[in-house]
Structure 1
Amino acid sequence: MAEYNKPHRNFNEQIALMKSRGLGCEDDRAAVQALKRIGYYRLSAYSYPFRRFDPDRPGKRCDEFIAGATFEQVVELCDFDSKLRAQMLVAAEIVEVALRVQVAYFLGKRERFGHLDRVHLDEGECAGRRGTHEKDVHTDWIDRYERRASDSQNEDFIRHFREKYDGQLPIWVAVEILEFGQLVRLYGMLDKQDKRRISDHFGVKGHNVLHKWLIRLNNVRNHCAHHDRIWNRIAVYGIPAVHEQQVPAALTHLSRLGDDDRKRIYTAAALSAHIVTLSKPETNWPRSFKTVVSKLPLRDGVVTEAVMGFPTGWKSFDIWNYEPKR
């Protein structure tokens, strides 16, 4: 394996390197400012689709750029992705809060401290293992929950609660300190009847189906929160094949998507749109999302909606033409 020996380059040298590989640049000074804002390595991920395919390595790209590609087009794509992440984070907040409410309501109805005692959960799910982890799922969850509770002890509502009451936080308080991933894992451990009630609330037939959706949405949320590229990202795991009888009418078109497309951002956006409109009927999120995507800097064969998993004619689908309920 070769040793990494590429040299450090200043911003002007970075511009010169890209230009030597065929990337046009209208304004070197503005390009330097963009590199200072974004960084060469981060921006290179957005330049990748503009690179030529390597004739000696099928499916791989080389360092040289296609004819007509410019630095400005690469920055425009990077800035589009930033707006797309911001839009997805708006939806993630609504989805996460809606799930908090449902988990707190149904688990709290069963037992106010149900998250702490697996007798009120699904023992099979609690006793499961994650990879080669030594602890079972619930024990690991409790450890993470206690660390989270400790980190949150100076929150006003936590301090007030513990000054007034002794003991542990009931589930309707505890959900407010959980990260989305912890919340999704807790949903996976709920009693099957409680999971079914929550999946019914979200219009999904099958609690395991909803769980897979939530895992995927948490994955997207994390990418967005950490400013990762999402516009053409292919997830390691997508959602399972969608069956029309399991989902509301607005999502039946997902049944026509292939495995690869279900790992791309469109499917996550459609699932988000469904939960958002159900949870916040007055929302305009689907139309706002459509507006953001309409500003994708298209370039035939290079930057397309298809590489984001968008099906043909998607803008006409009911989910993206939702009328807010006032």
Structure 2
Amino acid sequence: MCYDKPFKDFDEQIQILKDRKLIIEDKDFAIKALQTLSYYDLINGYKECFTKDDEYDGETTFLDLYILHNFNRTFQNVLFKYTVYIETHFKTILAYVISKNYSVDENLYLNKNNFINPNSTEKKKILNATLKRVNNIFKNKNIEDIDEPTRHYKKCKNHIPPWILFKNINFADAVNIYSFLRGSDKEEVCNLILSHIDIPINDKKELLKNSLTIIRKFRNKIAHNLKFITYKTDKKYLNYDILKNTDYKLFLKFLPSLNVDYDNAYSMIISMFILISDDFLITQIACDIEYALSIFKQKALNQRIFEKFFSISEIPEDIQKIAYMFSFKDMFPTT
């Protein structure tokens, strides 16, 4: 059989890159990088940025790709770090509302009757599958296969409260549980998480659900080492019309156009700021972004590579300035 992707040793991989007009100044360094980072992540991950018809422009070097890749991963790690705070905050409030309104007993608060009855067959399947996955977390007969802290409560307590169980459910299932909450429960979660935003409750619910969706989608790309820099969502989630009535309109001022039908990495950053109300964390995000950019600027020998990251990701080059402006938004009127 003639395989589309046959095995190539490292010398052959280097030759392929040279044939495609990528400049390789240090072959030993390039081979070491390919051994460490993999051809797919380092080369295929950025080929849309620098190639046309699968050929480089004759100016891009292997070192350019290496520096860009390392910055991209560093920048993604900054974003990922704060999505963990967001997930924890979201699950904490979700568990708080559910335990307050229903019970701390898993057999009661996971009862399907506590949730809306979806009209569509597809949504019914999603609800049933979500509740089944959540139940399976603690129903495993082999207790050693249950993760902490749920395992401890399964062994030592007579119930597993939501704030414990939800530590072991994935982000997508937590978002699904929120989506199927009854109206009053959903409003309560929304008002607690977005207490810092003064907009009508329906706008608030849309903003929370869509911001969570964007963060989940982009975090999945980061977690699985997939193409983050070029990723765009299949449809537009973040409603700019809602943001125009909030402090987050500052972020919109740096967009080249508001008429887009997708969300990008900048949408993820906006969503993070929306869901983090802690002033200390907001300032810390700005500091972390500034530090990552400063390292990139020092190491990017080719200014074109620096500019390429922002043009492809559609993150404004002024992102650190924007982050700091929002951190001190009371000093920078947005009207």
Quickly say closer, same or farther: Cα 1:320–1:172, change in 2 above 3 A: same
Quickly say closer, same or farther: Cα 1:100–1:23, change in 2 above 3 A: same
- Equivalent position of 2:332 in the other structure: none
Q: Are 1:74 and 2:73 counterparts?
A: no
- Equivalent position of 1:143 in the other structure: 132
Residues 208-227 of structure 1: CA deviation (Å, up to 9, x unaligned): 33112111111112111112
SS in 1 for 2:53: strand
- Equivalent position of 2:22 in the other structure: 23
Q: 1:171 aligns with which of 162, 165, 179?
A: 162
Structure 2 length normalisation: TM-score? 0.79
- Equivalent position of 1:212 in the other structure: 210
Please say if residues 108 and 171 of structure 1, whose CA atoms lie closer than 8 Å, have aligned partners that are also in contact.
Answer: yes
- Equivalent position of 2:278 in the other structure: 278
Tell me the distance in 2 between the aligned counterparts of 1:161 and 1:300: 51
Please say if residues 24 and 61 of structure 2, whose CA atoms lie closer than 8 Å, have aligned partners that are also in contact.
Answer: yes
Structure 1 length normalisation: TM-score? 0.81
Structure 1: runs of 5+ lacking an equivalent: 53-60
Amino acid at match of 1:273: F
Amino acid at match of 1:220: F
Question: In the TM superposition, what are the counterparts of 1:49-60 in structure 2 within 5 Å?
Answer: 49=48, 51-52=50-51
Instruction: Report which stretch shifted further, 270-279 or 291-300.
Output: 291-300
Question: In the TM superposition, what are the counterparts of 1:1-326 in structure 2 within 5 Å?
Answer: 4-49=3-48, 51-52=50-51, 61-112=52-103, 113=106, 115-124=109-118, 128-130=120-122, 136-150=125-139, 153-154=143-144, 155-166=147-158, 169-201=160-192, 202=194, 203=196, 205-244=203-242, 248-254=246-252, 257-258=257-258, 260=260, 262-278=262-278, 281=281, 284-293=284-293, 295=296, 297=300, 298-299=303-304, 303-311=308-316, 313-317=318-322, 322=327
Tell me the distance in 1 between the aligned counterparts of 2:109 and 2:57: 55
Tell me the distance in 2 between the aligned counterparts of 1:212 and 1:284: 24
SS in 1 for 2:174: helix
1:186: how far off? 0.8
Please say if residues 86 and 272 of structure 2, whose CA atoms lie closer than 8 Å, have aligned partners that are also in contact.
Answer: yes
**Cα RMSD after superposing both structures:** 3.2
Structure 2: runs of 5+ lacking an equivalent: 198-202, 329-335
Quickly say closer, same or farther: Cα 1:128–1:12, change in 2 above 3 A: same
Tell me the distance in 2 between the aligned counterparts of 1:145 and 1:110: 19
Quickly say closer, same or farther: Cα 1:230–1:9, change in 2 above 3 A: same
Quickly say closer, same or farther: Cα 1:176–1:51, change in 2 above 3 A: closer
Instruction: Report which stretch shifted further, 224-233 or 250-259.
Output: 250-259
Amino acid at match of 2:174: L
1:29: how far off? 0.3
Tell me the distance in 2 between the aligned counterparts of 1:286 and 1:122: 39
Residues 299-320 of structure 1: CA deviation (Å, up to 9, x unaligned): 1797141322224744433665
Please say if residues 234 and 263 of structure 1, whose CA atoms lie closer than 8 Å, have aligned partners that are also in contact.
Answer: yes
1:146: how far off? 2.3
Please say if residues 76 and 222 of structure 2, whose CA atoms lie closer than 8 Å, have aligned partners that are also in contact.
Answer: yes
Tell me the distance in 1 between the aligned counterparts of 2:211 and 2:315: 18
